[in-house]
Chains A and B, each alone.
Chain A
């Protein structure tokens, strides 16, 4: 089955700096890659996603890039703010197999004011 690896597990940045979280996947059939943000004690919330036919997608300070050849995708957060502090999960999904979602192990991001 699909295996998603996520790095780093923890990340601390100064407010205003950029943060990058990287994920790799194993199954070339994966075609949808969402990113979720989870604040302490709350539900994971979708913040951005990308389909396999797109190389990059941006939404204000957040961007995701996908390299299908290398089977990796990354989340980029620019001009980080304290409210960006949370745990971020990447995931890979294969729509042809019943939409199973395979999650990474999460990255705890701390933005230092």
Chain B
């Protein structure tokens, strides 16, 4: 168990809908990362938060947004869903508090199916 908790495990929804994915990082970790993995594809970096603030942005669509709350959990909001948004969404966390290296730990993912 990595210590990173993602809910829900599975999500099935229709095109045009909006969903929220939730992530609780490992205890003590300040950075949260979101990745999208489509079928047989690599890990596409979406966004990174550090201690509540956006730190880096990757290939995140404008229909997607995220935030990190004061208790350090994070939510990824996906709206106006399309069939192509069906994927495994991973959250990962790292300490990033001056320690080196800041090891990245992944949650078990949320499998989103858009029908």
The answer to whether A98 touches B103, judged by C-beta atoms less than 8 angstroms apart, is no
> Which positions 79-109 of chain A face chain B at CB distance < 8 Å?
89, 91, 93, 95, 98-106
Q: Which listed segment binds A: B18-26, B59-67, B68-76, B93-101?
A: B93-101
Query: A32-B101, A42-B108, A44-B90 known; A98 and B43 CB under 8 Å?
Result: no
Q: Which of A16-73 contact B (CB under 8 A)?
A: 31-32, 34, 36, 41-46, 49, 51
Q: Is B114 interfacial (CB-CB < 8 Å)?
A: no
* Residue contact B42 to A49, C-beta cutoff 8 Å: no
In this complex, how many residues of chain A approach chain B with their Cβ under 8 Å: the count is 25
Q: Which of B75-115 contact A (CB under 8 A)?
A: 88, 90, 94, 96, 100-109
Distance between Cα atoms of A46 and B26 in the complex (Å):
15
Q: Are B109 and A93 in contact (CB under 8 A)?
A: no
Query: B111's closest neighbor in chain A, by CB?
Result: A41
| B57–chain A nearest beta-carbon distance, Å | 10
Residues on B with beta carbons closer than 8 Å to the beta carbon of A99:
31, 94, 96, 102
List the B residue with the shortest CB-CB distance to A103: B43
A79 to B21 CA separation, bound complex (whole angstroms): 40
- Please report the C-alpha to C-alpha distance between residue A42 and residue B6 in the assembled complex, in whole angstroms: 13
B104 CB contacts on chain A under 8 angstroms = 34, 46, 91, 93, 101
22 A-B pairs in the complex with CB atoms less than 8 angstroms apart: A31-B100, A32-B101, A34-B104, A41-B88, A43-B2, A43-B90, A43-B106, A44-B43, A45-B106, A49-B101, A89-B43, A93-B101, A98-B31, A98-B50, A98-B56, A99-B94, A99-B96, A99-B102, A101-B45, A103-B43, A103-B45, A105-B42
For the complex with contacts A32-B101, A89-B42, 8 further pairs of A-B residues with Cβ separation under 8 Å are A41-B88, A44-B90, A44-B106, A45-B106, A95-B101, A98-B50, A99-B96, A100-B56
Q: Which residues of B contact A (CB under 8 A)?
A: 2, 31, 33, 42-43, 45, 48, 50, 55-56, 88, 90, 94, 96, 100-109
The 8 closest A-B pairs by CB, nearest first: A32-B101, A43-B106, A99-B102, A105-B42, A99-B96, A98-B55, A103-B43, A106-B42
